[in-house]
Structures are given as C-alpha cells and as structure tokens.
Structure 1
Amino acid sequence: MSLGAVGAAILILAGQADVQAGTGAVAYRPVAAPTPGVSSICPDGLCGEAALEGLLQALEATEAGARDRPVHILQIGDSHTAGDRITGAVRARWQARFGVGGRGVLPPGVPYAGYAPMQVEVTTTDWPLRTDVLSGGRLPVGVGFTGSEADVADGAVMTIAAENSAAFDKVQICGEGWPKDAELALTGSAGLRTMVFPGSRDEIWQPVCQTAIFDTLQTRLEIRPTGRVKLHDVRLTRQGPGVELSNLGVVGGTIQDLVLRNGDWTRLELDAWRPDLVIIAFGVNDGFAPNFDADDYESWLRGALAVLPSGLPVLILGAPEGLKAGTGGRCGGRAAPASLAVVRDVQRRVASETGVAFWDWYGRMGGDCSAERLATAPEPYMRPDRVHFTSPGAEWIGGVLSDDLLAAYDRWKAAKGEAD
C-alpha cells in the first residue's frame, strides 16, 4: 500500500471510530505541514539581504503611512511562477500585513490551456496570444517581460473578473497600434475609459504604456480594440499604498528567456511599473537541459541581471529540488540531474559577486530527496513528476519564502531601531 493510501486509510479509520462513538460524523484530521528545511548556505534561507534595502525602506514607509503608491514586487520565471500558486501565497500574506495594492501585471490574454491566476479570472474571444520561449535565441521576437504578445483587432474581447481582494482603480497597458493608430475601450464594472495607441510614424513604431484611472474600485474589466493593436501586458493596480505582486512566468522558460526579451519593451515596462523588487525565478529547466554548460549558464545569468537597472533590489530564487525518473537514484528510484546543483552554485556565487540577494529554495524545501518525500507524503506537496508543487505544496513553500523575507524585514527594522 502506498503512503497516500495509508494516509487515506488512517483518516477513514478515524472517521469510523467517531461514528462508532456515536458522533455520526467523519472527523477531518488535517495533516501537519512539513517543517521547512534548514539552509546550510544562507542564514534563515536568505543570503545577501542587505541588497534588499530599497524594498525594506518601501515597506517601512507603507507601514508608517508615508507612501502613496503600492510596493510593487515583480517576479519573472518559469512554470513555478506562471502557475501563481507560490506567488499567490506570498501576495496574500503581504497584502494582509501591508494592505492591498492591486493584483499586478498579467499577460495580455490567456497564455496556455488551464491558465488560472489567483484573484482574477481571464477569458478571451477572438484574441490570439503568442507566447514564445526564447531560449537559445531561436525566436528573437519583440516581447516584453510577460514573454507574450496579443495581436488583436475589431471584434476581439478580453474580460477580467476580479475578486473583491483584487479590485482596482488603475489600469496600465503597454502596446502599439499596427500599422496605424488604434484604440482600446475599457469597460469597468462602473465606468468606461479609452486608450489610444499610436501606429508608425515614418516607419518608426511608437510603443507606449497607457494608463486609465477609474473613479471607484472595479471588479470587472472588458477590453475591446478598434483597429489593430499589439499588446504586451495588462496591469491592474491601485493608486494608494499596499502591496502588489506581479507573476510573469513562461512555461518551459530558462534564464535565456529573460535575456532575449526586447530591451525597448522591458525598459518601457520598468518605467511604467516602477517595481521595488525584482525576483528572478529560473533554474529548473536550465538544470534539466541535456546540453547544459556551466560557463554559458553563468554568462546568461549575468546578462539577465544586466537587463535590470542599477540599484533596483533583486532576489534570485535558487533552483528548487527536482528529480528525474528512470535514473535508479536513491530518491525512490529517481535522481536530480547533476547540473541542477551546478545551477544553484552559480546562482549563489553570481548573486554574491553582483550584490543581489539569494534565497535557498532547495535547502528550505528540505534538500536532497525532498521532492520525493513531499510527493509521497500522506498529503502530497509535490506532483508525481517530482518537479511541480501541488496546491497545498505551493501554498506551503510560498509561505516559507514570505516568512523568510518578512523575517529579514523585521530584523532590519530592529537593527535600525537599535542604531537610532
């Protein structure tokens, strides 16, 4: 009998015992969450937390009521980021403490089947969206941080339904008319706004990020184009303080994916979004690549950091544990690719040398064979592939990341108070 079956049997027997005792109800006995692993390389899981000074100052100003815009966290990564379960756990915890600042940036459409971001539901009609993994330089198209582009025209519709916790009064969209000026009609749950996107002038394209402000908080947005327009993102935010977390993930993405995104678009988006922290969350796909080369990987990683403005707080999430089937390894017959450990070593060293922060994801999820333990627990925290987290597992590891960052913030405040 598998561990999962054993756990189920235990719950059934517990329920039968309650029935026999005359309660008439099947008892639910929650399984305790795993204890986070102890990092052997970073105190409390986080190395280089001094690099987060700008973020910590923004959080302090928010708590003190001295900030008039959201603290914006921008995470860029692969499927772990795209799924929004890990980032969703961080978003919920930080918004509970510092206030709701908005849902954040979304791809300009539905990037893949089964797309289900937290706090919002996105549907489209006649709305083609191109999402390209740019690894290897095979597809050097002009996409920004979302890694996608919607090419839409009259008759197309994108609808976003937001939970009350993600209500917004400010919408930002980056795009360009193609080949001439185009317009978007934004119909909120209470109000209508328009945006104009210029086309080419003397064969020079005019990419812009436009902003629409609503008088009240909205929970629904319908976007309809007039003319042809290419869109790269949709940001739902608020005008006041709080926390906003944008998760921009591309399924199958590697660190090259970030480097190869179009610099004109990424600079435009950074100017519009004004993030207070950028989290880089690539690594698993790099480590599983059959022709991995450590020197090439380091070059790409340094190139990714060079994409970001100097002085912007950056956090690299070290590659988590991932196991490959059919290897006969000691982790339930599986083993991690040897290059995955090399990816982590390069990430940590480059973070130290370039003055950015590093989070030991691998250590905090339990280290060697942790993917096997989490996948075979009574309540599985990883999927059978031993790479992706289940919903409870994502909630758990997202909570660990959140706790580690907030602990760094509390230490910083305490040290600052002592110095004062």
Structure 2
Amino acid sequence: MRAAIPAMALTMAAAGSALAQTPYVAQSLPGPGATVCAGGLCQPEALDSLFEALHGLETGERERLVRIVQIGDSHTAGDRITGAFRARLQARFGRAGRGVMPPGVPHAGYNPFQVQVTATGWSTTLAPLTASQGLAVQGVGLTGIQAVTFGPDAALEIVAEPGMELTYVSLCGMGGPDAGGFEVRGQSVREEVDFAAPDTGMLCTDAVIGALQERIVIRPLRGGAPLTDITLGRAGYGVEVSNLGVVGSSLRDLAARDEAVLRTQLAVWRPQLIVIAYGTNEGFDDALDPVAYEALLRGEVLRLRRLAPAAALMIVGAPDALRTGAAGGCSADGRRGPPPSLALVRDVQRRVAADMGVAFWDWHGRMGGDCSADRLATMDEPLMRGDRVHFTSAGGDWIGGIFADDILAAYEAWLARRGGAD
C-alpha cells in the first residue's frame, strides 16, 4: 500500500510544476519616441564627412580607421550607451580597437566595455569639477585626469575580451628632461616607451606589440611620466568609439581643459566625429543663465572646429530626467518632475546646432519625451534607475541601440542620395 502524501507536499509540488511550465518572457522594449528631428537626427548633412569615411571602410578604399570621440558626463563615463553604439558600428564596419581611455581607473565602479582595467599601486586623480568661472586647469585634457601617481610595483593591467585583442598601445602625457618612461608587456612581447625630451611638453608615443595580445601590463620606468590618456588599438581598419566622460561634469569642464593638451590630443587622434554629450548637470542648475550657456556652447563648438577642422560635430540633446520634491510633478506618484533649466538647455542646444551647422540628436524625444524617465523607471524590468536620471544596464543598451540605428539610418539615406554603395 502506497504511503499517504501530506497535503502540504502536494500543494508545493503543484506550485513547482506550475512554475516550471511558465517560461520567462522578456518584456517588450519601447520603440523610439516622437522627435523634433526627422529620424531623431537634425542636420544630418553635418555628418557627410563621417559617412564618406564609413563608406570608404565598406568599399575598401579607406586604409585607416574611423575614430569617433564622445565627450560628456556620467552617461558617457558609464560606457553603457556608447558601448551599444560602439558594438553596432564595429559589427558593420570592423573593429579597430577599444580606443582612447583614461590612463588608469578614474572613479569607483569604473567598468568599460570590451576591456577590463585593473590598477595596482597606480592612482589617477580627476581634475576638480569646474565652478561657474570656468578657469582652465593646466595639463588636463579630454579624459579629465589631473594627476597619475605610482607606488612601489605599480602596474596597470588591461585584459581584452575575445575579438578585441590589441596590437599596439599609445601613451600620451607630459614629456621633459626629467621624465621617465613605461614598460608595455604582453604575453609574448615587451616594449619600452620614453618620455624624456629636451623641453617640457605633450608627447604621444606608441608601443607596437605585434601579434594580437589579450593581456597587457603597463609599468612605470624611472619614475614614469604624467599621463593624460592611453589608446588601445589593433591593426587593420574599422571603427573606434571612445567614451571620455567625467561623472558630474558639465560644458564648463570642457571649457576648462588645457588647450595645449587638447591640440595635441586631437592632432594625434584625428577623429572623424566628435560627439558633445553634456546637458544633464546644467539642467539641474536652477541658476542657469541661458544666454551665458549659449555663448559657452557656441564658443566650445568654435574651439573644437579650430582644433579638429576635419572632424564632424554632433550635439546630443539633454535627455529627460526628474528630481524629487517637485510640486505637481509628472511622475506616477506626483512627487517628481523635470528641473526647469533642463528644457532651456535642450532649446539652446538645438538652436545652436541648427545655427552652426552641427548635427543634433534628440535624445529627449527618442526616449519618450516629457516624464519618460518615470515611465522607464517603473517598468517591470526598469530601463532607468530609481533616481530617474541614469539608465540601467538594459536601458543603456536600449537607448544606445536607438542612437546607433538613427546614425545608421542617416548613413543609408546618404548612400541613397549619392547613388548607393558603389
């Protein structure tokens, strides 16, 4: 005779069976939102030189990489959005390397895509965020690094993901009579680079490591040298997308970068596109003067054009973001709303881009418009974090994919206007 099965066990078994028969189904992602720009992108003709370069990669006529540099705030620093953009372009046009990066670990939680960076006895210090006067910080370039210090046995280890193995490392920093150098070691090769020079000034030097290397370790020699950036590359042609963001930064921080350093960096990098992605932090400044902000933005566009005349420029409009304590807020709980300056920032960005012939991407519209930050944060699987400012990992992938799709759609339209891929 079979033993009786307790009722509780039967109930649990039935529940387990029901769960096992209900597979997980991912939620549907929102489509791109309505936008003030056709296809999300205003002034796409400003990207013609970029599209010409990408077309050269596809036809095999271009024999060097296409480099895209995005500068901005924490949205850029996190690399989730730029990572999705990078992956999409590299899948189509080829992988030219990971690109320009800070010379170390710039902040807690630093987690760039495609490579893992570990610092031992190797410390980087970011320049302080710039006050309203916007005074220049000597020796600081687009990575925002003010100082690098080396302790005993200092080392910077870089491990590349499969498919992103490296063939060269470029180091940029301040050379001079008292400067040392660095050892760059891979699994099967060792190179030395020297920053000693008769005069003090910016230097960039390459360590060519030949065969593809998965792991690179950089160590200072003779005290090293003050570094501003490193570039991780691989031989061959393709696209490189560099994300140079600083948490909490604004356009004033870009204005405070040392022009001598910027001139050298941009001359060495030779970007085909510079993406200007500030605006969120300005939007949370209740004292923002839109007239002064417009003058600042125009000045930085002119400066980048002067320092990188061959580069196309794009302004990424500020996204939707909310803060707590707003009276009559638009969020589902009524307690959150957009800071008033955020819409002013977007209006200035769009107007300056149109007036100066710069491409403009409508991030606010593409993510869903007003109060979309709350809707995205309250999904079953949120695309924005609870702060209604930053994207989750899934959200960064989602909006970065929309950004890439809009750029590629503009590229396809450019191809059609010129008669297709010939």
Q: Paired residue for 1:235?
A: 231
Instruction: Compare 302-311 and 51-60 and name the one that shifted more.
Output: 302-311
Distance 1:189 1:135, change over 3 A: farther
Kindly provide the CA deviation profile for residues 238-270 of structure 1, in whole angstroms up to 9, marking residues without a partner as x. 231111110000000001111111111111111
CA contact (8 A) 1:178 1:230 kept: no
Return the offset for 1:397: 0.1
63-72 or 114-123: bigger deviation: 63-72
Opposite residue 384 of structure 1, the aligned amino acid is G
CA distance in 1, matches of 2:175, 2:56: 39
Question: Which residue in 2 is equivalent to 1:184?
Answer: 182
User: Where do 1:14-33 residues align within 5 Å?
Assistant: 24=20, 26-33=22-29
Change (3 A) 1:337 1:24: closer
Partner residue in 1 for 2:3:
none
* SS across alignment from 1:174: strand
Residue in structure 1 matched with residue 367 of structure 2 by the alignment: 365
1:164 Cα deviation (Å)?
1.6
1:34 matches 2:30: yes
SS for the counterpart of 1:222 is strand
CA contact (8 A) 1:162 1:219 kept: yes
SS at match of 1:73: strand
2: CA distance, partners of 1:396 / 1:17 = 38
5 Å-filtered alignment, 1:202-281, equals: 205-228=200-223, 229-281=225-277
With the length of structure 2 as denominator, give the TM-score of the two structures.
Answer: 0.91
What is residue 104 of structure 1 aligned with on the other side?
99
Contact 1:109 1:150 in 2 (8 A): no
Structure 2 residue corresponding to 1:162, chosen from 160, 163, 166: 160
Cα deviation for residue 22 of structure 1 reads 7.1
Report how far residue 357 of structure 1 moved.
Answer: 0.2
Q: Is the 8 A contact 1:324 1:334 kept in 2?
A: yes
Sequence identity percentage:
48
Evaluate the alpha carbon distance shift between residue 18 and residue 78 of structure 1 in structure 2; reply closer, same or farther with a 3 A threshold: farther
Matches within 5 A, 1:47-58: 47-58=42-53
Gaps of 5+ in 2: 1-11
2:343 is paired with a residue of what secondary structure? helix
Matched with 1:331 is 331
Conservation of the 8 A alpha-carbon contact between 2:120 and 2:154: yes
Aligned partners of 1:179 and 1:325: how far apart in 2?
54
The answer to whether the Cα contact below 8 Å between 2:175 and 2:203 also exists between their aligned partners in 1 is no
Q: 1:256–1:23: structure 2 CA closer, same or farther, 3 Å change rule?
A: closer
Residue identity opposite 1:341 in structure 2: A
C-alpha separation between the residues in 1 aligned to 2:66 and 2:380? 38
TM-score (norm 1): 0.91
CA–CA separation in structure 2 for the residues paired with 1:281 and 1:145: 13
Contact 1:69 1:101 in 2 (8 A): no
Matched with 2:312 is 313
Aligned to 1:415: 417
Give the deviation of 1:311 after TM superposition: 4.2
**Cα distance in structure 1, aligned partners of 2:13 and 2:267:** 62
AA at the equivalent of 2:214: T
**Judging changes above 3 Å, is the alpha-carbon distance between structure 1 residues 22 and 383 closer, same or farther for their aligned structure 2 residues?**
closer
Q: Is the 8 A contact 1:176 1:198 kept in 2?
A: no
Provide runs of 4+ in structure 1 moved above 4 Å: 16-23
Alignment-mate amino acid for residue 325 of structure 2: G
Q: Does the 8 Å CA contact 1:169/1:217 hold for their aligned counterparts?
A: yes
CA RMSD across the alignment: 2.1
Letter in 1 for 2:33: G
Measure, in 1, the Cα distance between the counterparts of 2:196 and 2:209.
22
Alignment pair present for 1:304 and 2:303: no
Which stretch has the larger CA shift, 243-252 or 132-141?
132-141
Residue 291 of structure 2 corresponds to residue 295 of structure 1 = yes
Partners of 1:89 and 1:398 within 8 A in 2: yes
Q: Which amino acid aligns with 2:246?
A: V
Question: Within the alignment, does 1:142 sit opposite 2:153 as a pair?
Answer: no
Equivalent residues of 2:286, 2:339 under 8 A apart:
no
**Residues 48/185 of structure 1: CA separation in 2 closer, same or farther (3 Å cut):** same
Pairing 1:331-410 to 2, within 5 Å after superposition: 331-332=331-332, 333-410=335-412
Q: Distance in 2 between matches of 1:307 and 1:189?
A: 42
Closer, same or farther: CA 410–21 of 1 in aligned 2, 3 Å: same
| SS at 1:380 equivalent | coil
CA–CA separation in structure 1 for the residues paired with 2:121 and 2:421: 59
1:286 aligns with 2:282: yes
Partner letter of residue 292 of structure 1? Answer: L
**Partner AA of 1:212 in structure 2:** A
Q: d(CA) in 1 for partners of 2:204 and 2:400? A: 31
Deviation by residue 1:147-168 (Cα, 9 ceiling, x = unmatched): 1144334632111111123212
Alpha carbons of structure 1 residues 206 and 311: separation in structure 2 relative to 1, 3 Å: closer
SS in 1 for 2:60: coil
Select the structure of larger CA radius of gyration: 2
Match of 1:3 in 2: none
Q: Which blocks of at least 5 consecutive residues in structure 1 are unaligned?
A: 1-15
What's the CA shift for 1:21? 6.7
Task: Give runs of aligned pairs for residues 6-17 of structure 1, distance below 5 A.
Answer: none
Counterparts of 2:19 and 2:286, CA distance in 1: 57
Pairs aligned (count): 401
Shift of 1:139: 6.5
Counterpart contact for 1:180–1:200, Cα < 8 Å = no
Distance 1:22 1:79, change over 3 A: closer
Pairing 1:59-208 to 2, within 5 Å after superposition:
59-132=54-127, 133-136=129-132, 137=134, 140-153=137-150, 155-177=153-175, 180-199=178-197, 201=199, 205-208=200-203
